[in-house]
Amino acid sequence: MGFEFDNMNNTIILDVLREIGNIGAGNAATSLAKMIDKKIDMKVPVVKLLDFDQVPELLGGPENVVCGIFFKIEGDMTGSIMFVLDQKSAFNLVDLLMPRENADFDEFTVSALKEIGNILAGSYISSLSGLTNLKIKISIPALSIDMAGAILSVPAIHFGQLSDNVMIIQNEFIEVLEAKSVDGYFFLIPDLDSYEILLGSLGVTL
């Protein structure tokens, strides 16, 4: 059985996610800047609750090829977190670490995306842990390159147990010197039981 979100609960949940998004994005930008030894600016994260059928359009449509980096969440709460980028943002992200002549998903690119994704997702989970006082960690990353419709079927299946909406945190990081932009989307996907644990730890009662 899913949760019925009314307007008040939606507002509370968005406020909570926005706080997580702001802190997590700041930590992620700092971690990324240290990793690549370059100055990184970020736009204020955009937090949304969308219907499932609206989500693929954020990434250029259901047939647009994107990169998804997936992690299991373990500890006091369980579930998963996924970071999704379109191809241009994925290549820009890797080029910040090591500029390449060819734009393709070779072994180096895949390895770099996993490592950077691990740092960014870890920043969000660390922020979430700090806000909730829950002991949580993420697994090693799994990477998939596929059409947006296929990639996004993972959070759709999980959130389908909870509600008709999916929760998204959109981030844009910009490397100042070369003006390379990385536009990515985080999907926080608690398991059914952990959803109540997460919101309860933040003082939200559904």
pLDDT digits (tens, 9 = 90+) for 133-147: 999 999 999 999 999
- CB proximity list for 179: less than 8 A, separation 6 or greater: none
What torsion, rounded to 10 degrees, do the Cα atoms 137, 141, 146, 148 define? 20
Q: How many CB atoms lie within 10 A of CB 166?
A: 22
> pLDDT tens digits, the chain, 206 residues: what are they?
344 444 545 676 677 777 777 788 788 888 888 887 878 887 878 877 777 777 788 788 889 999 999 999 999 998 888 899 988 888 888 888 777 777 788 888 898 899 888 988 888 888 888 888 999 999 999 999 999 888 877 666 665 655 556 678 888 888 766 667 888 888 877 777 787 787 788 776 65
Looking at domain 7-201, which of 3.20.20.140, 3.40.1550.10, 3.40.50.10860, 3.40.50.1220 is its CATH number? 3.40.1550.10
CA 102, CA 104: separation in Å to the nearest integer? 6
> First vs last Cα of the chain: how many Å apart?
13
Residue 87: is it exposed, middle or buried by C-beta count within 10 angstroms (0-12/13-18/19+)? middle
State pTM to two decimals. Answer: 0.82
Q: Name the DSSP class of 102.
A: S
Return the percentage of the chain with pLDDT > 90, whole number: 15
Give me the helix-helix angle, 7-36 and 87-97, nearest 10°. Answer: 40
pLDDT in tens, 44-89: 788 777 777 777 887 888 899 999 999 999 999 988 888 999 888 8
Q: What is the pLDDT of residue 96?
A: 80
